[in-house]
Chains A and B, each alone.
Chain A
Amino acid sequence: MIDQIYFEEEIEDHPRTQEFFARFPKATLTPCLHYKEVFNPVGQNFRLQKQKPGLILAKQNGKRIQSIPESYGIGGKQNFYFSHLLNCLYDCRYCFLQGMYPSAHYVLFVNYEEFWDDIFEKTSQSSEIPTWFFSGYDCDSLAMESTTRFVEFFLPLFAKNRNAHLELRTKSVNIRTLKKYSPSPNIVTAFSFTPEEISEQLENGVPKVKSRIKAMLELARQGWLVGIRIDPVIDCIDFENRYAKLFNQLIKDLPLPSLHSVSLGSFRMPTSFFRRIEKLYPHEPLFAGKLTNKNNSTTYLPELEHNRLQVCKKLLLDLLPQEKLFLCEMNSSSP
C-alpha cells in the first residue's frame, strides 16, 4: 500500500505521474527537486524504511541502459540491463539492494518512452546479433506490475521488435499482464528459486515456491518461454536433498521446449554491501555462514562454493540438456 508519494517537481505534469496521483488518491504527495534529495542522503536505515517505503516518481536523465558482461548472460553476445524501478516489494535477506541503496523507498522512473528509445537504438546498432535486455537487476520485474504497469508498456514494444530480447526476472506470481498477450519468442520470464525451507527463512513477502511453480507452468503452457534461476545458491543442511527436490518440482511438469534456460549462481556480493547488510541484521544466521572475502566480494569459502555449485549442476544435468544450463557471476539480488 503506497501512502507516501514523492515526485520530482519537473515531472509533476507528466501523464504517468498524474495517473499515479489519480490511482493513489489517499497518498500524501510531496514534491522534491530531484529524487536523490530523498533517496540518497546518508544516515538512513534501510531496515526501518522497508517497513513502510514511499514511492518516488522521477525521471531518469542519466544513462538508462547499462551493458553487462557476457558471463551474466544466458547465451546472448550483447547484454544490457535497464532499471525503470529501484528497490523491490519483497525483502530477501540475501538481496544486495539492501547494501547498495541508502534508502528502501521505491524509485520509479516514469519516462518509459525514453527507455524504449534507448533500447531501440541499441538494438538498431547491431541488428544481426540478438541483443538481450535484463529488467530485473535493481527490482523484481513483475512484483509491482499493478503499480508500475511496466510490462503493460514494454511487452508490446518488445513483441514487435524481435531482435531485442527481454528477460523479466521475478519471484512474483503476478503474470496477469503476460497472460493477456500472445507469447513472443524474444521474451523470457525467468523465475528465481531457492528450496522451500530456505525461501521461508530468507525470502520475506515472496509468494510460496509452489505458487511460483504454478505461475511458471501456466505461462509455459500458454507458450511463453520461461527461465529458471537458481540464484543465489544457499548453503544449508540437507543441501542435496532439498535442491534435488526443488529441481524435480521445477522440471517434472514443465514442457522442455518452453524452458529457455536455467542459470546457477552462488551467494555473492561486494563486501562493502555485505558489511552494511550485516549491520542492519546482525542476528541473521545467513551472515554467520562459512563466508569469506575474496577480491572485495563476499562469497562462500571457495571449496564450499565449488562443491555446492557442482552438486546443483550434476542434479540439473540429470534433468536437462547441457546447453540450457548457464553459470552466473553477478551479485545476489536476482528477483
Chain B
Amino acid sequence: MNFVVALPTEAKPIVEAFGLKKYSQKTPFPMYKNDLHTLVISGVGKNRASSATGYLLGRNQSTCPVFLNFGIAGHGSLPLGSAFLATRIISDQESENYYPPQIISSRIRKSPLCSVSKPVTDYPEEIGYDMEAHAFFATACLGTTRELIQVFKVVSDNPNHSIAQIDGDQITQLIAGSLPDFQTICGQLQSMEKEINPKSEEIEFKTIGYSIHPFSQTQRHLLDRLFRHAHSLAIDQSIILAGLRSGKSAKEAIRNLEKILEPHRVIK
C-alpha cells in the first residue's frame, strides 16, 4: 500500500505502527518502507501532494495499487479528533470533483472535503477542509482504480478550535487516536487489492511457460489467454507444462495446449 501524508508529525504514528523504516537512498521526498507499504511525506499543498503521489505511482510494481492519503483537516461541524473518510472531494481552484467509491464497511464517519489553497479559518460549510486530497486523488486515479484510492482525515480544527491552537505533538496524538480506524481501512483495502491483482503464483507460472519456447509477443498474448482458461477450467499446471514441452516449436506448443483445453470448455 502507498501512503501520502503532508507532515512528519502526521506520519509518525503510522511509521511506528507499521514498523516502517526510513528509506536510505536519496529520494525527492522523505520515504519510509517495509515489504508491503511505502509512505511518503509530501509537504503541504496541492503541488507537493501531486508530485509525491506521482513519484510513488512511478515506483509502483502492482497493476492496481492502493493509495491512501491521510492527515489532519479542518471541519465545519465535526468535533476535534473525529476521523472521517472523504465522500466527495472538491477544490477551491479546480472544477473536477472526485467521489471515492465508499466500499469500506465500517462505522467510520463520512464527509465531503474541500481542498483549499490557503488555510481556512471561517469554515463556511459543514464539510472538511484540507490542502492536499484533491491533487492527491487527481494524480492517483491516473494509475489505479478509484476504489483503492481513499482519503482519511482526522479533525484538528473547527469553528471552536482554531488551527493556531494545535502543535506538532497534538497532531501526532490526534493521528495516533485514529489508528484503529486507519488499520480497518488498510485491512479492507489490502484484501481488495489482492482480489483484483494477479497472484504471484500465476505470474511465476507464466514466466515458466514463456521460457519453454521462444514465443513472440503475439504468441505470449495467446498463451496468457490459454493459461487463464486452463486455470478457470481447473486443469493441472503440470499437464499444461507437459503440453507445451511436447511441442517442437512455439506454434506447435500452443496448438497442443488448445487441444488439451478443448474438451474441458463447458460449464459443469
The complex places the Cα of A44 from the Cα of B112 at a distance, in Å, of 20
The interface of chain B, by Cβ under 8 A from chain A, is: 64, 87-88, 97, 99, 101-105, 110, 112, 141-142, 144-148, 192, 195-196, 198, 228-229, 231-233, 261, 264-268
Q: Which residues of B lie under 8 Å from residue A41 when comparing CB positions?
A: 141, 146
The complex places the Cα of A31 from the Cα of B125 at a distance, in Å, of 13
A286 located at the interface, meaning its Cβ lies under 8 Å from any Cβ of chain B in the complex: yes
5 contacts between A and B (CB under 8 A): A48-B145, A103-B101, A202-B267, A284-B232, A288-B265
A136 located at the interface, meaning its Cβ lies under 8 Å from any Cβ of chain B in the complex: no
Cβ contact within 8 Å between A237 and B267? yes
Which residue on chain B has the smallest CB distance to residue A45? B145
Cβ contact within 8 Å between B88 and A235? no
Cβ contact within 8 Å between A289 and B266? yes
Cβ contact within 8 Å between B261 and A44? no
Cβ contact within 8 Å between B147 and A44? yes
Q: Which residues of A lie under 8 Å from residue B141 when comparing CB positions?
A: 41, 43
The complex places the Cα of A237 from the Cα of B142 at a distance, in Å, of 43
A287 located at the interface, meaning its Cβ lies under 8 Å from any Cβ of chain B in the complex: yes
Cβ contact within 8 Å between B112 and A30? yes
The complex places the Cα of A18 from the Cα of B39 at a distance, in Å, of 43
Which residue on chain B has the smallest CB distance to residue A31? B88
A234 located at the interface, meaning its Cβ lies under 8 Å from any Cβ of chain B in the complex: yes
Q: Which residues of B lie under 8 Å from residue A290 when comparing CB positions?
A: 265-266
Given contacts A30-B99, A48-B195, A48-B196, contact A285 B147 (CB under 8 A): no
Cβ contact within 8 Å between B232 and A49? no
- The 8 Å CB contact of B103, one of A52, A284, A285, is A52
Q: Which residues of A lie under 8 Å from residue B231 when comparing CB positions?
A: 282-283
Cβ contact within 8 Å between B267 and A285? yes
Interface 9-residue window, one of A32-40, A170-178, A205-213: A32-40
The complex places the Cα of A28 from the Cα of B88 at a distance, in Å, of 11
The complex places the Cα of A6 from the Cα of B148 at a distance, in Å, of 19
Q: Which of A33, A280, A283, A290 has the most chain B CB atoms inside 10 A of its CB?
A: A283
Known: A28-B110, A48-B195, A52-B105. 19 other contacts (CB 8 A): A3-B102, A4-B102, A6-B99, A30-B99, A33-B97, A41-B141, A47-B196, A48-B145, A48-B147, A48-B148, A52-B102, A52-B103, A54-B102, A201-B267, A201-B268, A236-B267, A285-B232, A285-B268, A288-B228
Which residue on chain A has the smallest CB distance to residue B145? A45
The complex places the Cα of A234 from the Cα of B265 at a distance, in Å, of 12
Cβ contact within 8 Å between B195 and A234? no
Interface residues of A in 1-56 (CB under 8 A from B): 3-4, 6, 28, 30-33, 37-38, 41, 43-45, 47-49, 51-52, 54
Q: Which residues of B lie under 8 Å from residue A30 when comparing CB positions?
A: 87-88, 99, 110, 112
The complex places the Cα of A32 from the Cα of B97 at a distance, in Å, of 8
Which residue on chain B has the smallest CB distance to residue A282? B228
Given contacts A41-B146, A234-B267, A236-B266, contact A287 B103 (CB under 8 A): no
The complex places the Cα of A236 from the Cα of B266 at a distance, in Å, of 5
Cβ contact within 8 Å between B97 and A235? no
A309 located at the interface, meaning its Cβ lies under 8 Å from any Cβ of chain B in the complex: no
Which residue on chain A has the smallest CB distance to residue B111? A28
Cβ contact within 8 Å between B110 and A49? no
Given contacts A32-B88, A288-B233, contact A49 B103 (CB under 8 A): yes
A312 located at the interface, meaning its Cβ lies under 8 Å from any Cβ of chain B in the complex: no
Q: Whole-angstrom distance from the CB of A283 to the nearest CB of chain B?
A: 5
A68 located at the interface, meaning its Cβ lies under 8 Å from any Cβ of chain B in the complex: no
Q: Which residues of B lie under 8 Å from residue A4 when comparing CB positions?
A: 87, 102, 110
A198 located at the interface, meaning its Cβ lies under 8 Å from any Cβ of chain B in the complex: yes
Cβ contact within 8 Å between B228 and A283? yes
Cβ contact within 8 Å between A44 and B266? no
The complex places the Cα of A204 from the Cα of B112 at a distance, in Å, of 33
Q: Which residues of A lie under 8 Å from residue B147 when comparing CB positions?
A: 44-45, 48-49
Q: Which of B88, B146, B148, B192 has the most chain A CB atoms inside 10 A of its CB?
A: B146
